[in-house]
Chains A and B, each alone.
Chain A
Amino acid sequence: MANTVNQRVVTPEHLLFEAPRTKAFITGSEAASEAVRRANVDIAIAYPITPQSETMERIGNLFAEGYIRDYYRAEDEVGAFSAISGASRTGVRCMTASSGPGLMRGLETIASWPGHRLPLVFLIMCRVINAPLSIQPDNLELDYMLTSGNILLHGENQQDFFDYTLAGFAISEKCEVTLPVAVAVDGFFVTHARAWVEMPSAELKLPPRDCYSEAVPMIDNENPPVRIARDAPIQKSNFISYQMHAAWQQEIHAAHERSRKWVSRYINGLVEVVNPEAETLIVASGSAVSQSREALRQAEEMGKKVGLIKVKSLRPFPTAELRAACRHAKRIIVPEFNCPGWLNREVRATLYGHSEAKIADGPRVYGGITMPTELILEWLFKSE
């Protein structure tokens, strides 16, 4: 029987970059579950919500096939995200997934993961969170993730979903990092659509989690669960609690800085830059990158040179990379799939004082519609 016992352990570097790959025409949900098949996962924790359900259903099949060791069906998102907190503390490799409203329901627990230094992988299939109700892709929930302390990667397509998920485990469990890694893609556009994905053999898998070499010891008979002891922190005006809180949160910040080199290594840089010499630039993440690539192609047909900066990692944010890539820019647009424009805000804050470029406040689509390349082109050349 095909199962995890028969898979050969290889280094993350080998699995991600060296092992020969074959092409498959699959959905994003399939790509994510194929990554989990090769990730030596101990426990997957599931609670359904569209458009995430299909991925966790497939991962349930992986459990039946023997590729993961346990599969827990939680009672809701608070339950699922609490269960994974417990699982991660015991030193096993664990993953879960959610979408839009489900993520929002469990956000309280998500925000507690980084302080507790819990290595885990959290897949996010973005979906509308605000009214009116919709199941379509809109990535506003990532705005809430930006300040949660989680490492946050934003994949463009099915290939990224496969690669970033595998990379997520490797990044998360590095001693200098010891943080949860969230891997987001836009729902439906990526999860339910098929594309070519190159994957290494399913006979290979990541090494198991090495929980004794992480920053915070896992709970066992010799390591009491001191980080979840609650009495001291909740005492009012307790200066030990303030000190403790400050230390924990500063630890997260420092771990994010230390994670840069690992994120960069495992996903090939925090950004990808196309046409770096162009003075008109697009900065985008997720599905907006794909739409921008097509806009670039059309602009080229019109004889106009446009550059593109794909932001792969939102946390840590590619501050230095973005400043360097935009130094000579004259005009920047930030196409996004959400109403408030969280990436636009990040780009402005990062480039303030570092670029003379005019940064357009858009374009943005929301509620689940895709972004027509026509809209990107219109915004690119609006000022002309």
Chain B
Amino acid sequence: MNRINIKLQEDKKILSIYFTAGYPNLNDTVSIIQKLEKSGVDMIEIGLPFSDPLADGPTIQESSSKALENGMTTKLLFEQLAHIRETVQIPLIIMGYFNPILQFGMEKFCEQCAQIGIDGLIIPDLPLEIFEQQYQSLFEKYNLKNIRLITPQTSEERIRKIDALSDSFIYMVSSSSTTGGQSSFGESQQNYFNRITQMQLKNPQIIGFGISNQETFSQATKQQKGGIIGSAFIQHLNQNKIETIPDFVAKILC
């Protein structure tokens, strides 16, 4: 069974953390992952940096540019992660835009992920229809979960379709926005969280975009299974040494 699915069966709220590989320093990748796991994080999204990240706000854009300047590449990321499963047990997901993966070769990319022990992929600009037609069997062959996004604007019909095609969790984008923190969730977002809960989907949902602290994390996990923190963590790394990762995580989980 896939590590993501095992984790989702646990009777607890899931804290997932996103970081950009190659940031702040080129070779921080492994130690960031190890420190996140030791701090009690449940799942990690490793961001494969891209020159033109359309769905991301300024924080992740800047971390991606910096990571690329530092020399991060797809090949190098796989080298850095080659022995990650000797020390890390929690689910690992790679989040990357389609073009770098396409250039690496989709099958080769999936094969490398499987060898390393990656559990799932989030490719925000890979359309659902293209995934279904061209890549679904490849993902199944390498036991990789394809994690799809929904937003407050996604129609019920499409959410049902995404739910049917998913087999781990649904990444619920909290509001109509690019990535980036906000201080709290308003009424319209609460209504959206309620609406999705009432749909009784087969896949649990994890909320991302706009979670930055204990308050937003607990709001997001009132009804949904978990929350994902990205930009706020990148900002923390921008200002603090990676040794302080446990402090960051402790503040969310307190």
Partners in one complex: no
Which residue numbers of A lie inside 8 Å of B, CB to CB?
Answer: none
Contact residues of B with A, CB < 8 Å?
none
